[in-house]
Structure 1
Amino acid sequence: MSTELKNDLFIRAALAEQTERPPIWMMRQAGRFMPEYWEIKNKYSFLEMCKTPEIAADVTMLPVDLLDTDAAILFSDILVTPEAMGGDLSFEQGVGPRFSNPVRTWEDAKRLDVDVLPKLKYVADAIQVIQQRLNGRIPLIGFAGAPFTILSYLVEGSSTKDFKNTKLLLNNDPELAHYILQKIADLTVDYLNMQIAVGVDAVQLFDSWASALSWNDYKEFSHAYNQQIISKLNRSVPVISFCKGASVFAPLLIETNPNVISIDWNADIRTVKNSLPEGMAIQGNLDPFVLYADKKVIKAKILNIIESMRGEKGFIFNLGHGIMPDIPFDNVKYAFEVVKEFRY
């Protein structure tokens, strides 16, 4: 962790300490809703941006400088780990990520390499460049994708709405699914601990597709591996666990013992917070679509969430998932101002 943070609001909230106002950052805050992002994106491919430390640092710093965020998040992607394992990854405009060599058989799975940290050195280099630029201004969050979410991309070969191939694997060959998940989990532990070692101030585990699963399948194919990962992390920094569309799994998220549970907009944040053990913080949970609305609506919806958390320790304001690319920048900036003007 940075020795002295000028603004440590996010860290204090993540450790469930009292703060004078909620800290705010937003998932995908270094993204496509900013014209400045496109100035960079039009010169490089997405993977070039991720793999070039100076460019990754430039993009990471955009929301820090333009929105005055309370935390920065490393500009990267959850799919850099499966790519390092041997996935042939590309990003297509309007389509999203694709793996041209999906993993669906034992033969495919055995080819997945887990001893790949050297291939991910560009992430460590980017963290060091970003921390030099931040110079203790605010904390830097590192992250990784959770095993089930990574598995689903590898098995489907692209984004999916129904997870047909993934669920077929879980049902017909659970042993193969567990074999792949364990490989991903082992790498994820190494990858997050590397990020902590080179200087991030917190880490977030993204289980973006957990909501595709039934309760029992979530326990077996997602929760068990997230629990394993979090138990093996160097806990010198706060750990955030995020499941999109999965507030229903909050009781299981608690079992993984993160410092912070990040929830989507489907749940009442105060109710979930009341269910957490003493000392566990919560992050969330504005529906990002609110940011398309009129400013008076944005303000009312934000204040509704913040007011509901009055008197609670350990609250980080965020969206329930990432910002969409066509949300007006001015609305995002206004949302930050509303939160930052608030006082408990």
Structure 2
Amino acid sequence: MTENLKNNLLIRAAFSQPTERPPVWMMRQAGRFMKEYWDIKNRYSFLEMCKTPEIAADVTMLPVDLLGVDAAILFSDILVTGEAMGGQLSFEQGVGPRFANPIRSYADAEALRTNVLDKLQYVGDAIRVIQQRLQGMIPLIGFAGAPFTVLSYLVEGGSSKDFKRTKLLLHNEPELAHIILQKIADVTVDYLNMQIAAGIDALQLFDSWALALSWDDYEIFSHRYNAYIFSKLQRNGVPVISFCKGSSVFAPLMATAGPDVISVDWNADLRQVKDNLPGGIAVQGNLDPFVLYADKKVIKEKILHLFERMRGQDGFIFNLGHGIMPDIPFDNVKYAIEVVREFSY
């Protein structure tokens, strides 16, 4: 797959091969900080955008055309698996995702469907449209939400500040939690293998809310299922990136799940994390997204400082420690990518 790409920097870095400079892409790079995104969003609902392959392709291509990134990431959402399983999903402006039928009982968990690939076929269709447009220019990253993170939305009914219901479930009814997590994991395996078959070049598993967990709970209710997913993927040369908020803490455990890359939040020294990982595991990250609000001089200094820390290291993909915020100036994001592209070891 790699040999067909005109720019395969990301794939080489993901497999810890030498690169002339770090590849760059940014989480949420096809998003609300772009006027062009809103030109589309103001005409369609968020789920319409995800479920219409041509529109998903339009949004996916925005940062490719406007920013010059080294990888595209599929425009979709981590919660489409939860919806396919039976969650009544909606997105409310200023509120975020909502499930109208949160899981509260064994009966609710039993009702979750697992044979749902037909309901996610629009994602495979979008991948094929995007790859036609990319013409092998850069890799396309596919993704899914990790089981614990998807569970937290299904149990809470939406976003949460304290994950109280989720933690009560883990502590008081762990058997029920495991039933739900296993179902999500099985769906996620099918979903990611479908994305590989449809033609994506790399995968990322987003465990956005893992930081809510203690070390032991992370191991039991998150790591175990992520490892299960990675073990079942028909990778075929497709590198796998593992992301969670909390990777600065959980990285040693994350490495044992079998990813090719660990995406690191901004709380850690990236070189230190890399030095403490087994050989052959790449790192991605880990600029604090808030740096992109700063003056361009500061943006450049922070990026070059990170690059100096990582000098001499194979297996480094430049990214943010989390996603781009909606009100970060577009010009600052573009400038940051230019700084990376102009760098050479």
Q: Counterpart amino acid of 1:113?
A: R
Determine if the alignment matches structure 1 residue 231 to structure 2 residue 221.
no
Question: For 1:75-154, what aligned pairs fall within 5 Å after superposition?
Answer: 75-154=75-154
The structural deviation recorded for 1:136 is 0.3
Say yes or no: does 1:258 pair with 2:251: no
- With normalisation by structure 1, the TM-score equals 0.99
Cα displacement (A) at 1:71: 0.3
Equivalent in the alignment of 1:240 = 241
Please state if 1:314 is matched with 2:299: no
The answer on whether the counterparts of 1:6 and 1:136 sit within 8 Å (CA) in structure 2 is yes
Give runs of aligned pairs for residues 300-311 of structure 1, distance below 5 A: 300-311=301-312
Over the matched positions of the two proteins, sequence identity in percent amounts to 77
Determine if contact 1:3/1:136 at 8 Å carries over to the other structure: no
* C-alpha separation in 2, matches of 1:338 and 1:92: 36
Distance in 1 separating the partners of 2:234 and 2:275: 27
Shift of 1:277: 1.4
Which residue in the other structure is 1:335 paired with?
336
Measured in 2, the distance between the counterparts of 1:126 and 1:54 equals 7
Q: Which residues of structure 2 form unaligned runs of 5+? A: none
Moved over 2 A (4+): none
Counterparts of 1:20-99 in structure 2, within 5 Å, are 20-99=20-99
Which one-letter code corresponds to 1:280 in the other structure? I
Cα distance in structure 2, aligned partners of 1:60 and 1:235: 23
Structure 2 CA distance, aligned partners of 1:39 and 1:262?
31
Cα shift at 1:2 = 6.4
1:123-202 pair list within 5 angstroms: 123-202=123-202
CA–CA distance in structure 2, aligned partners of residues 27 and 317 of structure 1: 11
The code of the aligned residue for 2:185 comes to A
The 2-side partners of 1:257 and 1:183 are apart by 20
Any gaps of 5 or more consecutive residues in structure 1? none
Q: Shift in Å at residue 275 of structure 1?
A: 1.1
Structure 2 CA distance, aligned partners of 1:281 and 1:295?
Answer: 28
1:255-296 deviation digits (Å, cap 9, x = unpaired): 011110101001000000001111111100001011001111
State the number of aligned residues: 344
Distance 1:312 1:2, change over 3 A: closer
Distance 2:256 2:279 in 1: 13
Partner Cα separation in structure 1 for residue 93 and residue 178 of structure 2: 32
In the TM superposition, what are the counterparts of 1:8-19 in structure 2 within 5 Å? Answer: 8-19=8-19
Given that residues 2 and 8 in structure 2 are in contact (C-alpha distance below 8 angstroms), is that contact kept between their aligned partners in structure 1? no
Matching of residues 210-221 of structure 1 within 5 Å? 210-221=210-221
Counterpart contact for 1:170–1:177, Cα < 8 Å: yes
In structure 1, what is the equivalent of residue 281 of structure 2? 280
User: Do the aligned partners of 1:149 and 1:209 also contact (CA within 8 Å) in 2?
Assistant: yes
SS at match of 1:312: coil
Q: What do you get for the CA RMSD once the two structures are aligned? A: 0.7
- Give the corresponding residue for 1:204: 204
Report if the CA contact (8 A) 2:14-2:315 is conserved. yes
Aligned equivalents of 1:140, 1:30: Cα separation in 2: 13
| Separation in structure 2 between the aligned mates of residue 134 and residue 186 of structure 1, nearest angstrom | 30
